[in-house]
Each structure stands twice: as C-alpha cells, then as structure tokens.
C-alpha cells in the first residue's frame, strides 16, 4: 500500500528527475503555507480586535458566533502544519541528508511519486473542509456588509465598525477580503494537488484495494438477492 520512490512511467521526463520534482514539491508546499497564513492571520487579528468575537455573520444585533472564526482558523492551521511537515521532508531529501528510518518511512508515505492511500483520503477530507472555510468567509463577509452597509459594494474600511470597547475598526474589510481571497485560491490550489494525487494513485493501482472491495460488496449483494 505504501508508495515507492520510483517515478511512474507516465510522468514527464523532467518530473522523473528527483531534484527537479522535489523543487516543484517545495514550491507547492511553500505557496500553500503562505495561503494558510493569509487565511488565519487576518481572521485572528479581527477576532482579537473584536475582543474574541467574530466579524463573520455580524449584523446590527451583534457579532457572529466565535466558533465560525475558530473553525476557519483551525482548518487553516491544520493544513499549514501538514504542508510544513511535507516541506520539511522535501528539504531534508533535497539536501541529501544521511538516511534516517523515520524520515525515510515518512518520505515514502508522502512521496511525490505517489502518496499512501491514507494520505490521499486525508487530503480529500481537508479539501472538503477548506471549501467550507472559503464558503463561510465569503458568505459571512457578505452578510456583514449587507446587514451593516446595505450591500457588499458599499462595504469598505472607510465606514468602520464599532468594536466592543467602543473603538472603531477601519481595517476589517481588508482583513476579511484577504482571508476570503486566500481561502478560495488555497482551495483551488489544493484541489489541483488532490486531483494529481488521485490520478497518480489510480495509475499506480493504489486505489485497487478500494475498488476491489466495492466490487466484492456489489457481488455479494447480487448473490444475496438471487438467493432470495
């Protein structure tokens, strides 16, 4: 089930060279790390300004549920940690450090020549969670702007929002817009990563255990029906 470090035959020639594909992997991880930072830092800053409350889904009656911002921040941090871990493995491999059993095993699970099936499933789950984050930030920001200023187009830092300590936040719109843009770009980027992983897994028959089990289940159901 675990992947190996042999380049699949369908890879382009440049990708079959360990150094080049490792650099490409490091760049992808670096981009995702930056996007994760741009998702959760602005949200964390606005949450701090609001005394722990959340700007998302705020209206004339008060701020939105704190759990909404907490969820968005948490998913971005989880993805950041995962990407940072992968980046560390790639850097270690790129620098050709002495072999270490734990590092070597982890490198095979996250190999650019085909990740482990468990990692594929985790990445698909994170993709769905990241989509939820992007939707929450977009809809939550739109709800805030529509409730307080009448429309999204009239929403700007210049208008300002009164905070619990009676000060005025004039950077909320920029912060939320940065998080929203980063969330959608991050989702699309992660979608490409997942598509690549699933495609490689399919070509290398990594998904065969799942498809075989599903076929057996269908065969069992048909056998049970015919017996009845």
- At 44-98, the pLDDT tens digits run 999 998 888 898 998 878 888 899 999 999 999 999 999 998 888 888 777 766 6
* Res 3: pLDDT: 46
| Residue at 57 is within a domain | yes
- The sign of the torsion formed by the CA atoms of 92, 96, 102, 107 equals positive
- Specify the DSSP class assigned to residue 162: E
> Can you name the residues that pair with 54 across neighbouring β-strands?
64
Phi, psi for 161 (deg, rounded to 5): -130, 135
Q: What is the pLDDT of residue 211?
A: 47
The Cα–Cα gap between 152 and 158 comes to 13
CA 217/CA 195 separation, integer angstroms: 26
- Give the mean model confidence (pLDDT) for residues 211-217: 51
d(CA 145, CA 161): 10
Q: Single out the residue of 124, 117, 137 nearest to residue 207, CA to CA.
A: 117
Q: Which two tokens stand for residue 84?
A: 């940072």
Is 166 within a domain?
A: yes
Q: Is 213 within a domain?
A: yes
Domain count, the chain: 1
Asked, for residue 4, whether it belongs to a domain, the answer is: no
Q: Which domain holds residue 119?
A: 13-227
Give the SS3 label for residue 59: strand
């Amino acid at each position: 089930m675990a992947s190996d470090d042999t380049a699949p035959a369908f890879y382009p020639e440049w990708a079959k060279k360990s150094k080049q594909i490792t650099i490409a992997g490091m760049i992808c991880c670096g981009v995702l790390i930056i996007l994760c930072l741009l998702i959760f830092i602005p949200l964390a800053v606005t949450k701090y300004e609001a005394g722990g409350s959340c700007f998302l889904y705020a209206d004339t009656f008060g701020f939105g549920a704190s759990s909404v911002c907490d969820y968005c921040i948490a998913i971005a941090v989880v993805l950041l940690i995962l990407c940072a871990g992968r980046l560390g493995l790639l850097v270690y491999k790129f620098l050709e450090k002495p072999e270490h059993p734990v590092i070597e095993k982890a490198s095979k699970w996250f190999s650019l020549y085909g990740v482990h099936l468990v990692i594929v499933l985790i990445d698909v789950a994170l993709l769905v969670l990241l989509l939820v984050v992007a939707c929450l930030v977009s809809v939550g920001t739109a709800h805030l702007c529509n409730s307080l200023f009448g429309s999204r187009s009239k929403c700007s830092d210049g208008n300002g929002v009164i905070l619990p300590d009676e000060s005025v936040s004039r950077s909320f719109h920029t912060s939320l817009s940065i998080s929203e843009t980063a969330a959608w770009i991050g989702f699309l980027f992660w979608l490409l990563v997942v598509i690549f992983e699933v495609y490689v897994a399919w070509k290398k028959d990594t998904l065969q255990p799942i498809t075989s089990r599903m076929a057996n289940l269908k065969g069992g159901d048909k056998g049970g029906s015919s017996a009845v």
